[in-house]
Structure 1
Amino acid sequence: MFITGKDRTSLTVIDDLRKKTIRLKEIPSKYNISIDQAKRLSRYSKILVKTEKNLSETSLYAVKMLGVKVLQLSQLFKCEDWEGLEEILHIVDSKTRTYDLEALLLALKAKRERIEEFEKEAKKRIKALELIETSQLQDQQLMEDSQNKNALQDIKRIQKELKELRQENIKSFFEAVIATDLMSSNDFKKHGELQYKVGRWLYSKGYIVAFEFVLPNGRRADVIGFNENKEIVIIEVKTSKGNFTSDKKWIDYLPYCDSFYFCSDQWLWPNIESTSKTNDKTGAGFIFIDENSVAKVLEDRLEHKCLLEGLRNSLTFSIARTISNKVVQGH
């Protein structure tokens, strides 16, 4: 029997579980389903209860519409990540599949990392200017006594720049948050879908594949994989020309792989091709995806290899451990 969480048997079992009129081990014999199916319905029932208590009506409707497919989001429920759940559940529809939810989870991680990185960079700039201002102010009295007008003007310039940066930081941060929220139903979902599709493609080429893998230098690779020869590939997903051209951290991935690629939609190809010829990404590999598969591949022509002693074995082991952790722990 196929259990969806929405069929008649599922609804009856869930009702019994919520009324506590049946024990889990009694479900298989009474309803002619497997113990694994009974456990899935039990977990789904608990998710329904959490949704009713903590999420909006729109999210509750989405959970009921998804049925047991929503178990893909179990880790978010376990961590009580209500904000993340609201964001994902407001995007799904009746056509959403299990791997779509996996893609959305990946995209949510990527989105949060972008916001965190933005905050760090802004705080770093402000701190640097504050240090300059402090050191300059300590000598301000001496400058006034010596009538050093140029130095005084320099202090005033730094104070003005710091004030403007603080104001700009608040404005730009909220603009970044708004832009990222708007991305939820567009680039946000697209990023996760592209990750999943290019990951499947890499797997079909004989690679062991992991998503959102943290490298030793702290950078997070959208997709990483290695083959039987322990050749390592890293793929960074880009959903727009702006996202591609503004990326300055991509070179930090090169010491940890033998091949590096950017991945985007097929329709972005003309824009990215023309841009890549005039910026620092000349020679990088590109993978372009159409609706369902990889449509075009430009090989990586950059000179780089994963050469550090012991690093290759350490990375491949860590990738395998990451995948094993997902299987064993469910996240």
Structure 2
Amino acid sequence: MPDGRQSETALLIARGARRHLRQLGFATITELILPDGRRADIVALAGDGTIHIVEIKSSVADFRSDTKWPDYRVHCDHLSFAVTQDMPLDIMPQDAGLIVADAYGAAVLRDAPSHRMSGATRRAVLLRFAHAAADRLHLQEDPESGLLS
């Protein structure tokens, strides 16, 4: 859920990446607070319970200034980056998936390697995903409810 910290480019990347993930059968949520307090750009949940985190990088400066992305691995089974077609792809980590996106869709250039997370972490992330999704739906239907997510 955009909170005003995302650039216009990041929002467009998120839109295209989420459209692509939806076509692949994933349910997605943006800006999910993980159990360690970090906030993931996109968390995608597959039908089999597999969890993917997609970190959006809107520019070279955005990528180079981010040192927190390796910490996301413990909270997912697959980690990918989503970037624009203008991003120099050779700077992106080889041990993560790579998605090129625009406002209308995306293409996976490199599949994310699998690194299964622990059962306790999976449960914690799934519960956060479910609660955030339910709270956001509730806020759409009842904006005056005062829920925060």
TM-score normalised per structure 1? 0.40
- Residue type matched to 2:101 in 1? I
Query: Cα 1:292–1:329, aligned 2, differ >3 Å: closer, same or farther?
Result: closer
Task: Tell me which of 4, 10, 28 is aligned to 1:209.
Answer: 28
Contact 1:256 1:305 in 2 (8 A): no
| Paired position in structure 1 for 2:94 | 282
Query: Cα 1:316–1:225, aligned 2, differ >3 Å: closer, same or farther?
Result: same
1:236 correspondence with 2:55: yes
| Paired position in structure 1 for 2:109 | 297
* Structure ranking higher on relative contact order (CA contacts 8 Å, 6+ apart): 2
Q: Displaced runs of 4+ in structure 1, greater than 2 A?
A: none
Task: Tell me which of 250, 266, 270 is aligned to 2:85.
Answer: 266
1:305 to partner: Cα distance:
2.1
* Deviations 1:117-173 (CA, angstroms, capped at 9, x unpaired): xxxxxxxxxxxxxxxxxxxxxxxxxxxxxxxxxxxxxxxxxxxxxxxxxxxxxxxxx
1:313 to partner: Cα distance:
2.3
TM-score normalised per structure 2? 0.84
Contact 1:107 1:192 in 2 (8 A): no
Larger CA Rg, structure 1 vs 2: 1
Query: Cα 1:291–1:324, aligned 2, differ >3 Å: closer, same or farther?
Result: closer
Task: Tell me which of 312, 320, 330 is aligned to 2:130.
Answer: 320
Matches within 5 A, 1:1-331: 106=2, 108-110=4-6, 188-268=7-87, 271=88, 273-276=89-92, 281-290=93-102, 292-301=104-113, 304-307=115-118, 309-330=119-140
- Identity over aligned residues, as a percent? 25
Structure 2 gap ranges (5+): 141-148
Contact 2:12 2:103 in 1 (8 A): no
Higher helix share: 1
Contact 2:79 2:97 in 1 (8 A): yes
Q: What is the SS of the residue equivalent to 2:112? A: coil
| Paired position in structure 1 for 2:144 | none
C-alpha distance in structure 1 between counterparts of 2:58 and 2:41, whole Å: 12
Structure 1 gap ranges (5+): 1-104, 111-187
C-alpha distance in structure 1 between counterparts of 2:64 and 2:97, whole Å: 15
C-alpha distance in structure 1 between counterparts of 2:78 and 2:135, whole Å: 25
